[in-house]
Amino acid sequence: MRFLLLFVSLAFHYLQASYLNIHMPQQTKSQLCQKLSDHECTNEEQLQYKNYFKLNNDRLLLFFNTYSKNALYPNGSLNVPVTVDINGKWQVINSYISDEIQAIEHDPHDGIWLHTMSTRKHGYSSLYYSRDAKQWQKIKLPSVRTFQTLQLCFQDNDVILTFQRVENDNVKAWVTSYNDALSPEPTWRLMEKKELYQKVCQKTSAYNNGWILKSNKNSTNVLFKHKYKNITISFPKKSFFIKQNIVFQTRDIPSFSEPIIKAPRITKLAPKQQGIYSIQLGTFNYKTSLPLVYQEFSRLKNGLVTKEVPTADHIQYKVFLETFRDIHEAKIRLGELRSEYPNSKIIKGAFVTKLP
């Protein structure tokens, strides 16, 4: 009898201590791979977790990119955001964030600001803003911004950007109102040095969020534990598929991810194969269609290339944008264009290919 009572007691404590583990569904991994590289991730091009950010009401914002060991830019320089909540609902966001993520911050008005730095242009910073972690807007920054560090400061209704060079402690700061910073053409004002010592930055964080990151940089898996509930979220830092089977086997939960726009189709490059790559905007049967394309991309008119392609009964017109020696460079540029032209049907259907 005592043995039975001991067994029941241990079982009860075990059930109390056990955690409900939320895994990333295979469907979500497939969607990320399709969005980043237009095919399932392989050992040569793996899906890689990069950063996280706490959102309100026990939600997490995660960022993923592709890792290609032998590529010119191994980390791909493109990030795709994903959200997951405490109920196990995963959603791949239809947005691209360019370059290496440096910092993510909340502002006092419940907005999210994301700072990135280019791996190709040393010290070149970019800034993104979102209200809901789904729609991302690229902020136009002051023209002189080749600095190693960027500090965001929210003071009352102003946004202050402080840039600094590490090697010589050169500091410059620009300020504008919150609403003006979100406008297409903000009027940043260069601050005087004496103003820098008077700023008081307001710090805010997500409310009602109990997630704690328990894994470290040497872990092979990412693990979040909830501070107040017996729930965890886990997934591999890197993953790939072999013959449709994922290398890291996990117990999937039902996926609630919404359909996303398929990634640009990338022409695969054979070993040692060389050529000039470009971004194909479209193929048109009538020459009269071309002025509409030229008008939409008038800002990039110097990079537009039109090729006439004879067919059996007529001539087709293919429009390309810019040229690249490396397919990864072209892919990165297309991701940037998707952020710059989020509502363009032409950009949504554009893809990377060799220039004929």
Task: Walk along the chain (356 residues) and give the pLDDT tens digit of each residue.
Answer: 555 545 444 444 444 457 799 999 999 999 998 888 777 888 888 999 999 999 999 999 999 998 888 777 777 778 999 999 999 999 999 888 888 888 899 999 999 999 988 766 656 788 999 999 988 998 998 876 555 678 899 998 999 998 877 555 678 889 999 999 999 999 999 988 778 777 788 888 888 999 999 988 788 999 999 999 999 999 999 987 754 444 444 444 344 444 444 433 333 333 434 458 899 999 988 888 898 889 898 888 888 999 998 888 888 999 999 988 877 778 778 877 877 787 888 988 888 888 88
User: Strand pairing of 171-177 and 315-324?
Assistant: unpaired
For the record, the structure tokens of 112 come out as 């999210």
The dihedral over CA atoms of 29, 99, 62, 129, expressed in degrees to the nearest 10, equals: -130
**CA–CA distance, 110 with 58 (Å, rounded to integer):** 15
Q: What is the pLDDT of residue 146?
A: 57
CA 174 to the chain's CA centroid: 26
Cβ–Cβ < 8 Å for 306, 291: no
Q: What is the pLDDT of residue 147?
A: 59
Q: What is the pLDDT of residue 160?
A: 93
CATH architecture of residue range(s) 277-354: 2-Layer Sandwich (3.30)
Domain extents for the chain? 20-246, 277-354
**CA–CA distance, 243 with 25 (Å, rounded to integer):** 17
Q: What is the pLDDT of residue 319?
A: 93
Q: What is the pLDDT of residue 246?
A: 42
Cβ–Cβ < 8 Å for 209, 106: no
Strand partners, 142: none
